[in-house]
């Protein structure tokens, strides 16, 4: 008798029709959809691999070689046989080096006990959400927002509350924040420099938001992953340097993905009050176990023996991005009906397509939303972008200018011609 002929399985088949049908997926999967930024980035790469010339402005990463001290240290770590588990929250020496880095940014003393190394900033944000948000809690998020923020809040059982900034220059106002606070509000998310708009929050705005958070006993999740990529004259300000009195309610999230051109290595960190770090580390111990060990050794070297070289690398990146930004704005000035918000930091430009919605493409089909425009740009202009629906704004379009200058110029000229043909 084979296993397939066993009496137990035969009985199961006989009674299967009388049982309630099993649902194939857990209910929480309805809260999550695949990242639109990842989809458009991948689609652009697939078309390029098939032979089309694509200006891939959907990718949220630098089109540059890896920072040299990171590369050398990674090779050395492999040769040295560093292939074992590390502490859940990262190598002690790396946590110490990051504590020093955070001390520089905040002007406050930090110890490794306040640091957790994570598999990119995305895991740091997830750990923070699972640690700080109870079911039913509300979290305020300025909109347009990075698509992962509301998704992770929903996974944690919370309710994201979008603050529409499209009429206020893509910056939240103290008035709109106060109006959105309810007894269920637990936290506010601040992302500066902002993804997708590139806006950088100034000291006055940060100070007002900090006071609101203190008065209403709110946590602040401060995501500064693009903080190292702010060219003059704009200045990125760490919230705790401005308001050290909020140290017990601020959670800092940062990443080495952008600043070291190592997005695929997945290495970031959480800096927070020690009880938060202990709880977040407990969650991490049951998910990732520990961050990538080679990436940890590579970043450790970049922050210690390679720090001067890393600083020079980042200065060169800011110079390159400033040149690309100027080129992009010069070409986009040719747009007829599309305002361009020149973000101060990061490497994104954000287009407001509101005046195109309801018009028609050159072939007569309607312009329904930014998704339709993004599809048309990819098909006709060879430009991969990310439509604003991914960011809670159906009228917006995000363009990354962190790509090769020739591809950037060619792609943007084709984009301008395509959008200007909309009747």
Pairing type for strands 268-271 and 250-255 reads antiparallel
Query: 61-102, pLDDT tens digit by residue?
Result: 898 888 999 999 999 999 999 999 999 999 999 999 999 999
Question: Can you spell out the DSSP letters for 242-290?
Answer: H-GGGGGGEEEEEESTTTTT-GGG--EEEE--HHHHHHHHHHHHTTTSS
Query: 89-98, pLDDT tens digit by residue?
Result: 999 999 999 9
Contact 68, 310 (CB under 8 A): no
Higher pLDDT, residue 43 or 151: 151
Domain residues of the chain, as ranges?
29-65+310-420, 84-306
* DSSP H helices in 286-404: 293-303, 307-332, 370-376
CATH of domain 29-65+310-420: 3.90.1150.10
The answer, as to whether pTM is greater than 0.75, is yes
- 245 sits in the region (left: phi over 0; alpha: psi -120 to 50; else beta) called alpha
Contact 370, 395 (CB under 8 A): yes
pLDDT exceeds 50 at position 8 = no
Tell whether omega for the bond before 105 is within 30 degrees of 0, i.e. cis. Answer: no
Query: What per-residue confidence (pLDDT) applies to 94?
Result: 98
Task: List CB contacts of 103: < 8 A, sequence separation 6 or more.
Answer: 109, 110
Q: Does domain 84-306 have CATH number 3.30.110.60?
A: no
Query: 348-389, pLDDT tens digit by residue?
Result: 999 999 999 999 998 899 999 999 999 999 989 999 999 999
Retrieve residue 179's tokens: 């109006």
**Is there a common fold for 29-65+310-420 and 84-306?**
no
């Amino acid at each position: 008798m084979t296993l397939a002929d066993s009496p137990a399985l035969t009985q199961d088949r006989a009674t299967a029709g009388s049982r309630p049908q099993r649902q194939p997926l857990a209910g929480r999967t309805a809260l999550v959809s695949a990242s639109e930024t990842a989809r458009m980035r991948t689609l652009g790469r697939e078309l390029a691999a098939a032979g089309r010339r694509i200006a891939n402005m959907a990718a949220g990463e630098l089109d540059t070689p890896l920072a040299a001290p990171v590369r050398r240290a990674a090779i050395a770590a492999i040769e040295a046989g560093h292939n074992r588990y590390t502490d859940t929250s990262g190598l002690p020496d790396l946590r110490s080096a990051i504590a020093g880095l955070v001390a520089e940014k905040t002007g406050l003393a930090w110890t490794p006990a306040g640091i957790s190394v994570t598999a990119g900033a995305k895991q740091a944000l997830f750990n923070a959400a699972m640690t700080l948000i109870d079911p039913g809690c509300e979290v305020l998020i300025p909109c347009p927002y990075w698509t992962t923020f509301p998704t992770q809040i929903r996974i944690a059982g919370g309710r994201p509350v979008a603050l529409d900034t499209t009429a206020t220059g893509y910056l939240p106002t103290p008035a709109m924040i106060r109006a959105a606070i309810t007894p269920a509000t637990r936290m506010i998310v601040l992302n500066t420099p902002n993804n997708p708009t590139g806006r950088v929050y100034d000291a006055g705005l940060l100070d007002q938001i900090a006071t609101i958070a203190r008065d209403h006993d709110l946590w602040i999740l401060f995501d500064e992953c693009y903080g190292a990529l702010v060219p003059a004259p704009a200045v990125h300000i760490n919230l705790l340097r401005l308001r050290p009195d909020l140290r017990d309610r601020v959670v800092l999230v940062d990443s080495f993905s952008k600043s070291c051109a190592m997005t695929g290595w997945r290495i970031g960190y959480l800096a927070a009050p020690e009880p938060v770090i202990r709880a977040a580390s407990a969650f991490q111990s049951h998910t990732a176990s520990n961050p990538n060990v080679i990436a940890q050794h590579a970043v450790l070297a970049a922050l210690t023996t390679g720090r001067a070289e890393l600083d020079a690398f980042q200065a060169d990146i800011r110079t390159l991005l400033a040149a690309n930004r100027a080129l992009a704005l010069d070409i986009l000035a040719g747009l007829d009906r599309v305002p361009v918000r020149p973000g101060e930091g990061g490497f994104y430009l954000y287009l407001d397509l509101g005046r195109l919605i309801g018009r028609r493409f050159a072939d007569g089909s309607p312009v329904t939303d930014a998704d339709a425009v993004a599809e048309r740009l990819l098909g006709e202009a060879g430009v991969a972008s990310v439509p604003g629906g991914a960011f809670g704004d159906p009228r917006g379009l995000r363009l990354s200018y962190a790509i090769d200058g020739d591809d950037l110029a060619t792609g943007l000229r084709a984009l301008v011609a395509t959008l200007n043909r909309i009747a």
